[in-house]
Structure 1
Amino acid sequence: MKYFTSIFFTLFGANLAFAQNPYVQVLGIAQDGGFPQANCQKECCKAVFAGKTPRQLVSCIAIIDPISNQQWLFDATPDFTQQLHLLNEPKPQNLGIFLTHAHIGHYTGLMYLGREAMGSNHVKVYAMPKMKTFIEQNGPWSQLVSLKNIDLQLIKEDSLIKLNERISVQAFRVPHRDEFSETVGYKIITSDKSLIFIPDIDKWQKWNKDLATMVKSVDYALLDGTFYQDGEISRPMSEVPHPFVSETMALLAPLAAKEKSKVHFIHFNHTNPVMNEKSAAYKVVHQKGFQVAFQGQKLRL
């Protein structure tokens, strides 16, 4: 699918395909620690430092509305600077940010909105109640609020947020390690299509919703692909109980090929082999009918 998408844009041009329709752009695919990861001595990260493997930015997507010139980020990552550059440096007044939860790869990019960097004014940041309180009551994030660099927008579970006449967003709770805030996924809705974004979740069995039903109800599903399989890291993987890509593929195996193709895995740990297009794991994902998200990918809404 990655190659088909590239050919499509080469032949017809991204501007033609997305001139009018809102679309989602993938701005990063790595887990919170990035790729390469700090102090990693594994071959996967050594290859990046040696220039043999491309760096990958931390998991993030954006909605772009070409008509209104509005853009909304989903998560503010440590790679915020480069991700804004990928969006062609949007004007702060046209920018909004939706936060999923309070783990380091998902909100710490807010620091670049402060006086030490952008010094922005009233950028809307959408957050669930505990996430909102976490920012308001803990420095240095509270300074962003007091200096009005950001305007926190309270969102409620399952409530529909109408961004403009073309785009709506809905937050839904997912089980995860909620030390400082609740964790949510998002559903993005237009008149033509819908997309769900779940970068972080614990095992699917812990969720009170059926994943297969959710996938069938939307046009795209960007799902937590942190680890490919058990044994990928040295510590007990029960401490970070993300659903393995292999588990998710097995769970969704009964789906028709059309439904499987909606699934794009994202949020990969540096140890996950699917980030290497030449790996056996990457090939297996595609052979089974699923997709691997990639930086720069665009999904028409």
Structure 2
Amino acid sequence: MNLRCLISLLSLTLLVNCQKKETKKQVKTPKEPFFVVLGVAQDAGYPQIACEKTCCEKTRKDTESERMVSCIGLVDPISNESWIFDATPDFTEQTELLSTYTPNKTVPDGVFLTHGHIGHYTGIMYLGREAMSANKTPVYAMPRMLDYLTNNGPWGQLVTNKNIELKPLTKDSLQVLNERISVIPLEVPHRDEYTETVGFEVHYKEKKALFIPDIDKWEKWERSITDYIKKVDIAFLDATFFKNGEINRDMSEVPHPFVEESMKLFSQLSIKDKNKVHFIHFNHTNPLLDESSEAFKTVLENNFKVAVEKSVVSF
């Protein structure tokens, strides 16, 4: 190959690489508020620490199958604002992903916390002085959660250093975010060792979305989940385990609605209402993490959806 050909080949390679990078930067943004699925795994992520089972071993060979911890982002392209629901151990990557939808912003305009288990709040540590040293990032939380963050280290340091600004929530009360969007916290039964647990109902004009990543069992809630599904447009719901016996321990110690149970409970819903359900928050043993699994196909065949990491979900 002569010098001229070599230079031409290198130039073409550089051009193609530049075009690929530009394509990666370009994000198609809906014109109205929407959600971004920022993670789908249970608190400990996928693969899970020290797991030597097939479910996790395959992710170590194929890193494309790894998944971040369950979390969703809400974007308002009209005002260029965003909010993140739960602050996970993957907070850095998730806020970076969310920021691709909000030009000239690197952090969301607020953080909504569901409860005090490790996959749902510990990500706020990256707002502290050892990391970005944020300036009064709004953190919305219920009374016990606020008390926990204020009076326990290292979280209290985030408050005293004004890295975060705590915003109190009251169950069933409207929290207005802007002229289009508001949020209502819904208290749900869960293992509340340190804090209460809530899901969130998000309102955009006349449309509604529901986010409940953790609940013990649907029948323990004083409200009807099927009635809620009927009245909302999107429902991101707890799918930690697919079925009973999935882990080698008494599963009553970690109660969650099994996906099989939920599908049975939701079986009388119309196809339109079933289509609203996006199962999320998968334990590392949950076969829904594998899109080629029979479990994944079964969910789709029953007209429900499985939350897909990095996907956009519009109202």
TM-score after normalising by structure 2 = 0.89
Question: Aligned ranges for residues 39-118 of structure 1 at < 5 Å?
Answer: 39-51=50-62, 54-88=65-99, 91=105, 95-118=109-132
SS in 2 for 1:82: helix
1:250 maps to 264
The reply to whether residue 124 of structure 1 matches residue 138 of structure 2 is yes
Alignment CA distance shift 1:52-1:300 (3 Å):
closer
| Conservation of the 8 A alpha-carbon contact between 2:127 and 2:164 | yes
Aligned equivalent of 2:37, options 4, 26, 31: 26
Whichever residue aligns with residue 139 of structure 1, its letter is G
The question of whether the paired residues in 1 share the 8 Å contact of 2:98 and 2:108 is answered with no
Which blocks of at least 5 consecutive residues in structure 2 are unaligned?
1-25
Amino acid corresponding to residue 47 of structure 2 in structure 1 = P
Q: In structure 2, how many angstroms separate the alpha carbons of the residues matched to 1:93 and 1:14?
A: 17
1:15 aligned residue? 28
Q: In the aligned structure 2, how far is the partner of 1:168 from the partner of 1:210?
A: 22
Aligned to 2:223: 209
Q: Distance in 1 between matches of 2:112 and 2:269?
A: 30
Q: Contact 2:95–2:108 (CA<8 Å) still a contact in 1?
A: no
Indicate conservation of the 8 Å contact 1:71/1:96, yes or no. yes
Q: Within 5 Å, which residues of 2 pair with 1:103-182? A: 103-182=117-196
8 Å Cα contact 2:99/2:106 also seen in 1? no
Deviates more, 1:48-57 or 1:155-164: 48-57
**2: CA distance between counterparts of 1:53 and 1:190?**
34
SS at match of 1:24: strand
Question: For residue 37 of structure 1, what is the aligned residue in structure 2?
Answer: 48
Q: Does residue 262 of the first structure (1) align with residue 276 of the second (2)?
A: yes
Letter in 2 for 1:295: E
Normalising to structure 1: TM-score of the pair? 0.93
The residue type paired with residue 104 of structure 1 is I
Q: What residue in structure 2 maps to residue 221 of structure 1?
A: 235
Shift of 1:176: 0.2
How far, CA to CA, are the matches of 1:14 and 1:210 in structure 2?
38
Would you say the 8 A contact 1:188–1:195 is kept in 2? yes
CA distance in 2, matches of 1:221, 1:136: 31
How much is the aligned-residue C-alpha RMSD, in angstroms?
1.6
Q: Does 1:185 align with 2:199?
A: yes
**Structure 1 unpaired stretches of 5+:** 1-12
Give the partner amino acid of 1:227.
F
Q: Give the one of 285, 289, 295 matched to 2:303.
A: 289
Deviations 1:199-222 (A, max 9, x none): 000111100001110000000100
Give the whole-Å Cα distance in 2 for the aligned partners of 1:126 and 1:247.
Answer: 31
Q: CA deviation at 1:192?
A: 4.1
